Structure 1
Amino acid sequence: TAAATDGATATDAAEPPASEPAAEPAADGDPCRADQITVEAVTDAAVYAAGEQPKLSVTITNTGSNSCVMNVGTAAQVFTVTSGADTYWTSTDCQVDPVDAEVSIEPGTPVSSSEPITWDRTRSSADTCGGERTSVPAGGASYHLNVSMSGFESSTSKQFLLY
């Protein structure tokens, strides 16, 4: 009986170190991990009147317990506007001079875009950068904004309406 108890104790003592590395929090300054970053797509309004241009931005929150570092520059950002199954506009289609910006994201302190991107309500593609672009449907049309930051995707889209 004593041997069985010792065996159980030895097994119990061995378990925490085996599971500890998987649950170990990142050290301050480590690269951000998917399990500690939340990306939220943000618009400046839910409904836009005819002629109003949506301002698109992003908020990043570190839900972990340590600061982490990630690229939040324009080179790491992808804003995508969709409606139904159609992708109408992507920020990287005609992006000029993308920059990297490695920053430390502190736990529990949301970080938002310093300058929102203004969407001109046109359809984009990589081959429409030099010419005129087609306006997207309005009149109450529903659109969704999704954002990716350094490969971390927004968990939900932000819906908005164009009139």
Structure 2
Amino acid sequence: MSTFRNPVGPQPSSTYWRRRLMVILGLVAVIVVIVLIAVRPGSTPAATTGDDKKTNTAAPADSGKAADPETPCAPGVVTVEAITDAGDYIAGQQPLLSLSVTNTGTAACTFAVGADVQKYTITSGTEQIWTSTDCQAAATPESRVLEPGVALATTPFTWDRTRSDPAACESTERAPVTGGGASYHLAVAINGVESADTKQFLLN
């Protein structure tokens, strides 16, 4: 009988050793294939709970505005500035009026900025010439998130260089104001916050 160490047969022993080596290599190859099928290299088993349920992952947070819309701006945080599109207007040129609001705090907050809470007042000397609330139509409320240090400006509108009168809102003829280099000042307020300074401009 042949043994693994001392093969016996009619052919030289080297022949038997080669045959046994080929058989051994074949067995090793089969074992390697079985191991690779059972455990794939580079793969990591998925973690499961005791009841084999999948775990949900949270979606990334939005990198846009991080402000809480329910957090109103604290008193004294918002400043308001009156704006005109020029400082000197030629005869017949109508000024464009607007305002800007700025959050001077360190965190974003929500502030009412709708036309229903805006007020524009034009004076000359001690005389009030025109105010936007005298004949203001119904306006839709609006709130916006104010980011720290970022000025938010309203859409400019035209002042027709006439006096306002709440008793003559339906009239198509209103008294024009004086030109010829006369000085006027625009003051603004929004949501109860008034501009610290007025904006001066001249009408020719």
Give TM-score, length-normalised by structure 2. Answer: 0.64
Counterparts of 1:40 and 1:154 in 2: how far apart (Å)? 5
Q: Residue 163 of structure 2: which of 123, 143, 151 is its match? A: 123
Within a 5 Å distance, the mapping from 1:37-76 to structure 2 comes to 37-76=78-117
Give the CA deviation at 1:97: 2.2
Q: Which runs of structure 1 show a deviation greater than 3 angstroms over 4 or more consecutive aligned residues?
A: none
**Residues of 2 paired with 1:34 and 1:49: CA distance?**
40
SS in structure 1 of the partner of residue 150 of structure 2 = coil
SS in 2 for 1:160: strand
Unmatched tracts of structure 1, length 5 or more: 1-26
Contact map agreement 1:32 1:68 (CA 8 A) in 2: yes
> Percent identity among equivalent residues?
50
1:137 and 2:178 are equivalent in the alignment: yes
* Cα deviation code 1:85-135 (max 9, x no counterpart): 11111011111121110111111111001x212100000021121111100
Tell me, what secondary structure is at the counterpart of 2:202?
strand
Which whole-Å CA distance do the structure 2 matches of 1:42 and 1:74 have between them?
Answer: 16
- The TM-score with structure 1 as length reference comes to 0.80
2:97 is the alignment partner of 1:97? no
Q: In the alignment, does 2:202 pair up with 1:161? A: yes
CA distance in 2, matches of 1:34, 1:137: 38
1:152 counterpart residue number:
193
Alpha-carbon RMSD:
1.2
User: 1 or 2 for the larger relative contact order (CA 8 Å, sep ≥6)?
Assistant: 1
Higher Rg of the two aligned structures: 2
Hey, what's the Cα distance between the residues in 2 that align with 1:72 and 1:142?
A: 28
Aligned length: 136
Once the two structures are TM-superposed, the CA of residue 70 in structure 1 deviates from its matched residue by 1.3
Structure 2: state its 5+ residue gaps.
Answer: 1-66
Show the counterpart of 2:123.
82
Greater CA drift, 152-161 or 96-105: 96-105
Paired residue for 2:43?
none
Look up the match of 2:14: none
